[in-house]
Each structure stands twice: as structure tokens, then as C-alpha cells.
Structure 1
Amino acid sequence: MATSEIPTTQLLISSGNGPVARTVLQTPLRDAHPSEIPVIDVSGLFSAALSHRQAVARQIRDAATNTGFFYIAQHGIPRATTAAAHAACLDFFRQPADVKQRASIDRSARFNGYKAAATQRINPFESVDVRESFSWAYDPRFDPAVADVSKIPPEVAAHLCLEDFPWEATANMPQFKAAIVDYWRSCLGLARALVRAFALALDLDEHFFDSKVTYPDAVLAMNYYPPIPKPTGADAVARSQSEQEVSIGSHTDFQLFTILWQDDNGGLQVLNRQGQWINAKPIEGTLVVNIADYLQRITNDRYISTVHRAQNWSGRERVSMPFFVGFNWNESCGVLDSCVAEGEEKHYEEISCSEWVKRRAQAMYKTEGFSAGKAAVPSS
């Protein structure tokens, strides 16, 4: 059957500019092809040879302009580090509810900590997310690149999160802080290497963005997904968006890019360029990287911030650990001149990172007040 003959439905997602509709083909879920979500060996990013770093950057550019998702192998984060963080996550989430609530985000001054089940709805047009999570924002005291916290410029410090609450609230688990901080630091180092790779991929000097990630918006989230029933038969394809139970709803990420570790149970689904849902299956030893909204904006839509979701149909508990990467909150960036062809206009106005993230996050925790059935589908 030709693509034009396949029935479609409209998928609504939140964006920084209001609801956006995507056309989705009503085809069975399938695994991604390597051409859609390639595996990229990024060991060359740590080479002293510029040509090796450029070779990796070219592969990243190809993936960023295609589906906007790719796996990275040989990324330098030891498996012992990810294994320890995974074990720490399971230990935390398997605790009684009252113990986890000691770390509730409601007790944090800076949005760190635990979010209980049925308290998050990342897509207001779908079900409440069937997940629990624990998040921790950038703290310069744990950044190896920061020699003296007292010397951070005031305009930067005003946005930073220095809070001991997450560790005080999990003091009953002595291994938790060590494992999570070690993983966070490893992701931070990798993120800065990838930022330089993205600069090269945009035909810029590889240090072009360095000053914008000195104190980055670098948030680690740990998601715990209990299993949900897998739809069967015609219902697997034809259910309306509002009828779907989701582990985490359909969305795009906010800032530059995300580095994701996922366990081997699977569940990550990506909406490809043709409008098909495809599985981003776990590949041993790799991490998943996906482009986020702010990077799509500053590249004038050259790079694709792709819709994705999670559905834990494995029958087992699932853990994922996304590390969200963005510029310093006080930074502002418009469309890069190098991403505007002759005769082409810039698609977006300049906006600060803090304003953009606030705009995107404003509906994230709402669990009522929206009706998918009554939502208007934009005409364009």
C-alpha cells in the first residue's frame, strides 16, 4: 500500500508556541532501520587529530538532519558507572512510598528530587504519565571544570542550583549519591565533547559554543516505569490519542540534546520523518542521543527535534536515565548565520535559554484542565 493510502491520525504535542499537530500513519509499530537511527562510534571525538573529530561530526550531522536520533558507541562512560547508577535507581524506586516522599520535589527549593506516580503529564493531550522520577539539576560544586564556585559571575550564579536536599533526603542510601554523581559527571564530560562535535558539524570552530556551556543546563532524570498493558489487535493501531495509556507521553525535548541510557527492557519509540512510530531498541554498550528544540531553532530547522515517547510493554519494571543538555541559563542565541542559505529567512527570533525552557515547561506538571477530545488541531 502506498503511503498516501494508509489511514492517518493527528497527534497533538505541546510546544513553546502552543499545541502542534503531527500526522501519524496508522501502521504497526516496527523496529528502526539502521538508516533511521544509526550507531556512531564517537571515540574519534577524543582523538588529538582534528580529522578524526571531523569524521565523527559528519556522521552526527547526517543523523541530526535525518531522524534526529542516533546511538553512540565507544563514548567513554564505563559500564561500571552506568551499572552502579542503574542499581542505585532501582534501590531508590523500590522503597516504600513514604520513604521516597522524603525526597519529594515539593520540599526542594530548586525543583530537585522525587516525583511520585500520577503527578506528571508531559503531553496534556494524553494520559497522565505512568512513571515515577527523580531529577537533579546542574550544581557547579560537582563540576570538575569549576575550580572556584565563589568566582562564578553573578548573572550566571542567579540561575544555578546549589542545594544539598537531594542527598540529605536519600541519606538512608549511602551509595545513592556517589553512584548518581559519578554518572552525572561522566555525562557532563561527554556532553561537552558532543557540543564541540555539533559545532564542527555546523562548519563552525569546534570551540564556538564553549563559553555557552561553562555552567550548563545539565539535568539528570531517572525514570521508573512500571509495566502497562500492551494493546492488541486493531486496538493497537486505531486507538485515539486520548485513549492511549502512556509511560511517558509524546513530546520533544527542550534544549540542545539529550543523552539517554536505557535498560534492556525497551520501550522508547520515535516518530520518524514519514510519520511512523518506530522502536529505538536498546543496543548493548550504547547511549541514545536526540536533538532537542533549542538546537533545532538555532539551526533554522536543519537539525530535527523529533517526537518520542515511552511505552513499557515489557511486563517488567523499566529504568531510563536521560541527561538533558543545554546552554547556560543566562545565555541567549538566535538562528546561526551559517544555517541560513542565501535567500532564506530566519525562522525564529532570538530567545534566552531560561525563557525558552520556562515556556516549554509551564504545562509539564499539569494533570488536569486539558481535554484531548476538545483540543483544536492547528491548521498548519
Structure 2
Amino acid sequence: MSTTQDLEQTTTLRLASGNGPITRSILPHPSRDALPCELPIISLAPLFSSSLADRLELAQQIRQAATTNGFFYITSHGIPPFVTQEAEEAAFKFFRSPTEEKEKASMHKSLYKYGWKPPRTQRLNPFESVDHRESFSWRYDPRYDPSVDDVTKIPEEVRVMIKHDPDDYPWSAVSPDFKGAIIRYFQAVLALGRVLLRAFALSLGLEETAFDEKSRWPDLGMAVNYYPPLSMEEKEQEKGEETKVSIGSHTDFQLFTILGQDQVGGLQVLSRSGQWLNAKPIPGTFVVNFGDYMQRITNDKYVSTVHRVQNYSGKERLSMAFFFGFNLNETCEVLDSCVEEGEEPKYEAISCWEWTQRRVKMMHDVKGNGSY
């Protein structure tokens, strides 16, 4: 499927969103490395300053990135390198282990599909190839949140929405070394996410603590992804419109994502003009991007950007994606600070629970329907 635009032949990328099927026009150029102005590097050092002026200045840098391509790198984030390194080493050891070992933590043994997902069992975009990856994923469990002193004191309306398997599955099915390293990483990124959320509040013209209570028991997800290399021969032999992907083109569900990636590379970000940009690994950084719910409550001011992974490096690749959302019982509408004079809110209020259910349903509906 193609159209003519600015005398260049474009292709149409199709994907699901929480507001129904969407399309993006893709320029007929190979992916290129992103420029610093397209995926900026932002130091978070001012976030830890006692000066509000410093924190506000940083918030403006974030706002600039949020309203352009919606992706940026962060440095000076406060997470010690050894925490990330130990998690990566433990993850590689897990994914390289025999299948029968990984199957002990299979998602098929989980009530909520948490745990290990084997190769070629996921397809994030139904109009591209199956995802060439395997993963280990789970969602928020307050027992692993250091800020929660007593799980029984979580309000019932919140607790009923927090789902986890009995007997601590899938953690009970993996080695203590893997669990320990990954949980330490998760807790470090959770703390960073809460700091970032304050910066995002400032960037939106709100009080710094505006989102604190809304994210006290947040809707979180984390996926550790393992990508074997795609073959260059496969790339040359692509048939029809099916693009070979390590993970298919998509946008993220919630407020924002913090991504740790190794030095292999493969993450690609779709620019506003329709060009695939390589988000090359930068040592010591994380990649941050905004999700659909953030775009919604900012009245489309902050961009939830399409991205994918193609690992043609010839090497195995690892990434650790941390997805941050509000408490599932929270209901949010378009922020007043994001509605300019003469504008109207584009979206009605919706709870985080309703939003995630709608987003999943839309994705499944698209998968069940071969066209728009």
C-alpha cells in the first residue's frame, strides 16, 4: 500500500492504539542514526539539586523533547553501573540456559501470562512478522516496592486491581541469582521513575508533587527482552509488505518507558516526518519515551512515538523495558495546563484501568481483523 507525498513514494505503516487503528506514512529511505537534536541527551543532575530553578530548567529540556520526537536519553540518573551490569549478566545467563530450565517459569503456568515467553510466540504488530525475541515479563507487585511498608494497608479499591500469581510465581521458578539481580534493577528504576515523574509534572506547569499520590501504587510492567540476530539473507528475501522485526512497530500504553539497552543496538524511532531513526546505544544512559496515556492527558502535546527493534547486528541483543503508569484506580482527564486558549480537550476522562483494558482490546481487535 503506497501513496505519493512530496514526490517521494511512501509506504503506510498500520498499528493499533487506544483510540483505534492508526497509520503512519514511512519515507522510502533506510534507517539512519538520529541526530542529537532528534534524540537529545539530557543530564538529570539538576533533578537532585535543592534549587527549584535548576529543576525547572531541566523540565523545559524535557518538554522540548516531549513535544518533538518524544524520545530522549538520560545521563546522571543515579543508578550505579553495577546494578545494570549484574541484571544484564543474569538475564543473558537465563536466556542462554536450556529450554527446559526456562519452561519452569513459562507464562503458560501463570494466571496472568507473567514469566518467560518462548521465541516466536509474540507478534506486537499483526502487519509485520512475528517478533523474533523471547522475553521474561511481570507487573507491579507491592511486595517488591521498597516504598510500601505494609501491603495490607493498600486501599482495597487499589489492591483488587493489582494482580499477581500465588506462590510468588514466576520468581519462585527462577534461580535466586536471576531474581535478585533483576529485582534490584527493577527497584532502582522504580525509584528513578518516581523522580522523573516529578520532573514531568514541572514540565507540564504543575506542582512538582502533583502526580505523587496518583502513582503511589503504580501500574508498572517490566519486560526483559532477548533478541537473537536476524539474518541479512532474511532481510533481502522479505516478501510482500511483511517487515522482519525483532519487535514490531508500536506505541507504549502508559505514561512513559525507561529502557536499558546493551551496546548492540537495534532500537528504531519513527520521526514526525516518517523517517526511521536509529537510537544507538550510549554507554551509561537510559532511553526514555512517552506513552499513549501521557499523550492523551496532555491533549496530544507530548508525543507517544512509534518504535520498533530490528537486530541485524549479527549478535544477540538484550534490553530491559520498564513501563510506568498511574495507580489503576486513578481517573485522569486532559490537564488544564495543556489546553490553550481557544482549544478544547480532545479526550474524555478515563481511568487507568479502563485505559489499559481498552488498549489491549484494540490491539486484539486489530489482530483479528486483517485490514482497516
TM-score, structure 2 as length reference: 0.94
Q: Identify if the C-alpha distance between structure 1 residues 44 and 151 changes in structure 2 by more than 3 Å, giving closer, same or farther.
A: same
Question: Paired residue for 2:339?
Answer: 340
Match of 2:260 in 1: 261
Q: Which amino acid aligns with 2:232?
A: K
Deviates most, 141-150 or 278-287 = 141-150
Rounded to whole Å, the distance in 2 between the matches of 1:322 and 1:94 is 19
Contact map agreement 1:120 1:366 (CA 8 A) in 2:
no
> What per-residue deviation string (whole Å, max 9, x for no partner) do you get for residues 151-205 of structure 1?
10000001113440111111xx221111011000001000001110000000100
Per-residue Cα deviation, 1:200-238 (whole angstroms, up to 9, x for no partner):
0001001011111100012111001111123799x69x9
| Structure 2 counterpart of 1:297, one-letter code | R
Distance 1:188 1:222 in 2: 15
The residue identity in structure 2 corresponding to 1:136 is: W
Match of 2:206, SS state, is: coil
Give the structure 2 partner of residue 222 of structure 1.
224
Query: Is 2:347 the partner of 1:351?
Result: no
> For 2:143, which of 133, 141, 144 is the aligned residue?
141
User: Runs in 1 of length 4+ with deviation above 4 angstroms?
Assistant: 363-370
Match of 1:59 in 2: 61
* CA separation of 1:90 and 1:363: change in aligned 2, threshold 3 A: farther
Q: Is the 8 A contact 1:167 1:177 kept in 2?
A: yes
Question: What is the rounded CA distance, in whole Å, between the counterparts of 2:234 and 2:117 in structure 1?
Answer: 30
Match of 2:313 in 1: 314
Aligned to 1:206: 208
CA displacement, residues 258-301 of structure 1 (integer Å, 9 cap, x when unaligned) = 00000111000000011100100000100000010000000000
How far apart are the structure 2 equivalents of 1:52 and 1:231?
A: 51
Paired position in structure 2 for 1:24: 26
2:254 partner SS: coil
1:89 and 2:91 are equivalent in the alignment: yes
> Could you say which residue in structure 1 is the equivalent of 2:323?
324
Q: SS in structure 1 opposite 2:100? A: helix
Over aligned residues, Cα RMSD in angstroms? 2.0
Residues 28 and 153 of structure 1: is their aligned pair in 2 closer, same or farther, counting only changes over 3 Å?
A: same
2:114 to 91, 112, 115: 112
Structure 1 match to 2:155? 153
In the TM superposition, what is the alpha-carbon distance from 1:369 to its structure 2 partner?
A: 4.4
State the TM-score, normalizing by the size of structure 1: 0.92
Q: Which residue of 2 aligns with 1:249?
A: 248
Q: What CA distance in whole angstroms lies between the structure 2 residues aligned with 1:257 and 1:91?
A: 28
Find 2:52's aligned residue among 30, 46, 50.
50
2:265 is paired with a residue whose SS is coil
Q: Identity rate of aligned residues, in percent?
A: 56
The Cα of 1:111 is off from its aligned counterpart by: 3.1
Aligned to 1:165: 169
Unaligned runs of 5+ residues in structure 1 are none
Distance in 2 (CA, whole Å) between partners of 1:223 and 1:12 is 23
Distance between the aligned counterparts of 1:190 and 1:35, measured in 2? 24
Aligned to 2:279: 280
Task: Return the offset for 1:361.
Answer: 2.1
Aligned equivalents of 1:203, 1:367: Cα separation in 2: 36
Assess if the C-alpha contact under 8 Å between 2:251 and 2:304 holds in 1: yes
**Deviation of the 1:72 alpha carbon:** 0.2
State the one-letter code of the partner of 2:173. Answer: A
Instruction: Give the 3 Å change call, closer, same or farther, for CA 239–22 of structure 1 in structure 2.
Output: farther
Tell me the equivalent position of 1:15.
Answer: 17
Where do 5+ consecutive residues of structure 2 fail to align? none
- Change beyond 3 A, Cα 1:160–1:232: closer
Contact 2:329 2:352 in 1 (8 A): yes
Q: 1:52 to 1:76 in 2, by over 3 A?
A: same
Letter in 2 for 1:269: Q
User: Does structure 1 residue 293 correspond to structure 2 residue 295?
Assistant: no
> Are 1:67 and 1:306, in contact at CA under 8 Å, matched by a contact in 2?
yes
Whichever residue aligns with residue 326 of structure 2, its letter is F
8 Å contact 2:18–2:362 — kept in the other structure? Answer: no
Counterpart selection for 1:178 from 177, 180, 190: 180
